[in-house]
Structure 1
């Protein structure tokens, strides 16, 4: 019989948790996202990011999930939760930009958010918000009651 490899996982943080940024509101989420976003891409191409949070809403990390063209990007829900699971997330924040400056969530934005919320419920990883960034501000899908 062939030898089968054992799969193991490890998580080691080198930063004290109390020094990590904390996100408890859409304003804080948008400010954090602006601090990590490539400003040169904000009006150039649509990008999608997931931010992973611990149980106290400290930011454990973030990952660029997708980068597309000037009007859209393809987002795989499984990729969102792969990052969340491997990053030891207790909850997540979704974010993407609208290069056009459009403040409104598209039908596709709302559908993706609802799929992610349902997947998060199954995995026990709530989606806290979905933030849309644009040059002059941001939109919170939670505040707009679109989740």
Structure 2
């Protein structure tokens, strides 16, 4: 009989660290959906905003200062897959206390789809369990945006 290596019983050490290259005083503060839209539009690849759908999260600290932008997925013309685990693994690693979800509609239509509403509800509920607040969910185009929070849909 083959000898079993007993190392499988040992839990590997996991080390979480947060390295930043930006001073807190230099981080943009998000005070409104318009602030988030302007920041995200400046960080979006303008050649892709009307080409295919992308989903990103804006991670924020307690003072609503931007910790970073994380791209969750890129998809097709009419949608992209969003995995909650990726959203919250990024938020937890960045030590974010809140976040905003942002995705584009290549068609230019700012109407929220049923899938948009559903993922917003899921992220809000999951965030509640982790004490990470979903501040807003934005649908953006190169010309304008729709804010779930401003429209009372959050």
Q: Same fold (TM over 0.5)?
A: yes
TM band (smaller chain): over 0.9
Between the aligned partners of 2:140 and 2:126, the Cα distance in structure 1 is 23
> Out of 27, 42, 65, which is 1:20 matched to?
27
In structure 1, the partner of 2:3 is none
Is 1:102 matched with 2:102? no
Count, aligned residues: 147
Deviation at 1:127, TM superposition (A): 0.4
- When the two structures are superposed, what TM-score results if normalisation uses the length of structure 1? 0.96
Summarize the alignment of residues 29-40 of structure 1 with structure 2, pairs less than 5 Å apart: 29-40=36-47
Summarize the alignment of residues 53-72 of structure 1 with structure 2, pairs less than 5 Å apart: 53-72=60-79
Between the aligned partners of 2:86 and 2:114, the Cα distance in structure 1 is 21
> Out of 50, 53, 56, which is 2:57 matched to?
50
Deviation at 1:24, TM superposition (A): 1.3
Larger mean CA deviation between 136-145 and 90-99 belongs to 136-145
In structure 2, the partner of 1:131 is 138
Larger mean CA deviation between 91-100 and 74-83 belongs to 74-83
Segments of 5+ residues of structure 1 without an aligned counterpart are none
Segments of 5+ residues of structure 2 without an aligned counterpart are 1-5
- When the two structures are superposed, what TM-score results if normalisation uses the length of structure 2? 0.92
In structure 2, the partner of 1:79 is 86
In structure 2, the partner of 1:121 is 128
Between the aligned partners of 2:103 and 2:70, the Cα distance in structure 1 is 12
Deviation at 1:81, TM superposition (A): 0.6
